[in-house]
Amino acid sequence: MKKVLAVVLGLLAYGANAQDFKPFKVNSSLGYAKPMGAGSSAGILLSVEPKYGLNDQIDVGLRIEGAFMARAAEIAGEMADSEISISSSYVLTGTYMLTNTYFRPYVGIGGGLYSVGSLSFSENSSDLGIGASRKLGAMARVGFKLGHFNMGVEYNLVPTTKYTVSMMNGTVAPGKSNNSYLGFKLGFDIGGGYYE
C-alpha cells in the first residue's frame, strides 16, 4: 500500500510542475475508418475526446467514437456481402507528446468498451443478421499536433465475433466477423494551447 501511495504522490508531484500548456482540451475529429479483413468496406468516423494534461507531455482522456463501415462476414469459409453499420467506442486514453514545441509528434494507447454494430448480409439468397455486441478492446495511436490542428492514425484492436448461422438447406455453418479497424483522423483541439 505504501508503494502505491508513493507512486500516486510522485505522479501528482510530477504533474504539479509549472506547465506551458493549458491542461484541459477537447479534440474533435473526422476521419476514414478501414475495417480489417477481406471483403470489408471503408467508411467514416467521428470522434470527440476530452483530455486533461497531467503535464506538458502527458494527456489522459476519454475518446468517444462512432465508425460507420461495412465489416466482412465469413460463413463456412466464404465471404458474404454485409451492409454498413455503426460501431461505437468509449476508450480511456493516454497520450505522450514527444516535444514541447509548436509541432508535437505523439504516441498513445488506450483501452475500453467497443459496441460492435449488428451485421445484415445475404448468403445463398437468404437474408441473415447478427445482433450487436459489446467487447473490451485496445487502441494504439501515432500522429502529430501543429498548434491546435491534429492528424493521426489509430489501430483499434477489437476481438472477432464468432457465431453459427442456420442456412436455407437446414445445415448450421460457423461464421465470424473481424471487428478491428484502422482510423485515419484529422481534427482540432478546443482549449489547450500555450498560456499567454
Q: What is the mean pLDDT of each run of 10 residues along the chain (196 residues)?
A: 61 54 92 86 94 94 94 74 83 96 96 84 57 89 96 96 74 81 96 67
The backbone torsions φ and ψ at residue 52, rounded to the nearest 5 degrees and listed phi first, read -130, 130
Q: Say how far apart CA 113 and CA 125 lie, in whole Å.
A: 34
Report domain extents, the chain. Answer: 20-191
Determine the Cα angle at 120 with ends 114 and 126, to 5°: 155
CA nearest to 177, candidates 83, 91, 67, 64:
83
Q: Say how far apart CA 50 and CA 72 lie, in whole Å.
A: 31
* β-strand pairing of 119-123 with 78-82: antiparallel
Grid coordinates standing for 150? Answer: 491534429
**pLDDT value of residue 120:** 63
The answer to whether the beta carbons of residues 40 and 146 sit under 8 Å apart is no
Q: How many CB atoms lie within 10 A of CB 97?
A: 20
Q: Where are the beta strands (DSSP E) in 54-84?
A: 58-70, 73-75, 78-82
**pLDDT value of residue 15:** 47
**pLDDT value of residue 8:** 53
| DSSP element (H, E) containing 121 | strand 119-123
Q: Say how far apart CA 118 and CA 93 lie, in whole Å.
A: 26
Residues 6+ apart with CB under 8 A from 102: 146, 147
Query: Would the pTM of this model clear 0.85, i.e. be above it?
Result: no
**CATH numeric code, 20-191:** 2.40.160.20
Cell 445463398 sits on residue: 124
Q: Say how far apart CA 122 and CA 91 lie, in whole Å.
A: 32
**pLDDT value of residue 62:** 98
